[in-house]
Amino acid sequence: MAFFILYRRTALKASYTKVVHNGDMSVETRTVRQSVSLPAKTATQVRSMAKSRRLSTARMLVELIENGIDAEKRKQQEFFDLAERFRNETDPIETKRLGDQLGRLVFGG
C-alpha cells in the first residue's frame, strides 16, 4: 500500500489525520484524472464497444488509448526501419521503391 496514516489525534471533537506517501507507488500504477470531450458518434461507439465487452466506458477508453499508443510506436519503428534500409540500399531501383514507400508513410497515399 502506497499510503499510510502517520498519526491520528483527536482534540475537542476535531480529528486530525496526516497521510504520508512512502514512495512505493510507481508511475505505472498511478492514475491521472483526465477530462476529454468526444464527438457524439465516437462516444456512442465507445459505449457500444464497452457494453459488448462488459467493461466500463472509462476502461474501454483506456484500452483504446493504449492500443493507439502501441500502434503509433509500431508505425514509428516501421518508419525508422524503412529509412535505415533506404539509407543502406545501393541498388537504384530498390532505392526508388523504398523512397516511394517512405513517401507514402510520411505523406499518405
pLDDT in tens, 31-64: 888 888 999 999 999 999 999 999 999 999 999 9
pLDDT at 73 over 90: yes
Residue 47 grid cell: 459505449
String of DSSP letters for 52-98: HHT--HHHHHHHHHHHHHHHHHHHHHHHHHHHHHHHH---HHHHHHH
Other CB atoms closer than 10 Å to residue 37's CB: what's the count?
Answer: 6
Name the average pLDDT for the chain: 82
Share of the chain above pLDDT 70, in %: 73
Tell me the backbone φ, ψ of residue 8, rounded to 5 degrees: -135, 130
- Residue 7: is its pLDDT beyond 60? no
pTM, full prediction:
0.62
Cα–Cα distance measured from residue 30 to residue 22, given in angstroms and rounded to the nearest whole number: 14
In which residue are the cell numbers 535505415 written? 84
**Cα angle vertex 74, ends 51, 45, to 5°?**
20
- With contact defined as beta carbons under 8 Å apart, do 100 and 89 qualify? no
